[in-house]
Chain A
Amino acid sequence: SAVISQKPSRDICQRGTSLTIQCQVDSQVTMMFWYRQQPGQSLTLIATANQGSEATYESGFVIDKFPISRPNLTFSTLTVSNMSPEDSSIYLCSVAHRGEAFFGQGTRLTVV
């Protein structure tokens, strides 16, 4: 299995500001995934982060809004930029280890 530490666990932010979410994995993984879960909805993939290359963004998500860093094989950050109330969601990082998906505990973001 893979253990993922994600922080912060929750935050309340002012509109127009940015928040950076961190994920640390206890083993080296090639890809890390960032998801968004809006209230009452399922998970939507934002982007896939590969070490040493640009992240791959899904349709509807752009790098300027959700910049991602992947400096090594155990760590990644997602920044939610210029936040608005519509960005209020749970953000989750995930890795696939031997075909099985593992998740961090999520970051519950509220934008006021």
Chain B
Amino acid sequence: KQEVTQIPAALSVPEGENLVLNCSFTDSAIYNLQWFRQDPGKGLTSLLLIQSSQREQTSGRLNASLDKSSGRSTLYIAASQPGDSATYLCAVRRNTGNQFYFGTGTSLTVIP
């Protein structure tokens, strides 16, 4: 069974800092990996999708990398802003089936 772990569980940084969130998964036979943002009590907003054949994806200040062989992905946030404060979740989809497996998330607080 696929297990997804995110480190750290919580992170607090001053505004303007660059930061890295980590995601690891146990089964490298993945179809893709997706990073989401979740605001308190709300649904999930898709940030970046990385296909299994890709190494990284970028969107604005966000950059996600994927090392499938080592079972790791990172989300890099440049020049953090208070509006980036949220919980960030990664999810992997296996090659077989349609289920997504979610990590436990990293709660990010950006201090003005």
Residues of A within 8 A of B (CB): 1, 6, 10, 31, 33, 41-43, 45, 48, 90, 92, 94, 96, 99-106, 108
Is B81 engaged at the interface, CB distance under 8 Å to the other chain?
A: no
Chain A positions within 8 Å of B34 at CB level: 100-101
Chain B positions within 8 Å of A102 at CB level: 46
CA distance A104 to B38 in the complex (A): 11
CA distance A73 to B41 in the complex (A): 27
Given contacts A42-B89, A48-B98, A99-B93, contact A10 B46 (CB under 8 A): no
Chain B positions within 8 Å of A33 at CB level: 98-100
B41 and A108 contacting across the interface, CB-CB below 8 Å: yes
Given contacts A42-B89, A42-B105, contact A101 B100 (CB under 8 A): yes
CA distance A90 to B104 in the complex (A): 15
CA distance A105 to B43 in the complex (A): 4
B98 CB to closest chain A CB (Å) equals 6
Query: What's the dominant secondary structure at chain B's contact region?
Result: strand
A104 CB to closest chain B CB (Å) equals 5
**Which B residues from 16 to 70 make CB contacts under 8 A with A?**
31-32, 34, 36, 41-46, 49, 51
Chain B positions within 8 Å of A43 at CB level: 44, 89, 91, 102
CA distance A90 to B39 in the complex (A): 12
Interface pairs A-B: 6 shortest CB-CB: A106-B43, A105-B43, A103-B44, A43-B102, A103-B43, A42-B104
Chain B positions within 8 Å of A10 at CB level: 41
Chain B positions within 8 Å of A94 at CB level: 44, 100
CA distance A94 to B49 in the complex (A): 15
Supplied contacts A101-B44, A106-B42, 5 more A-B pairs, CB within 8 Å: A45-B99, A92-B44, A94-B100, A99-B32, A99-B49
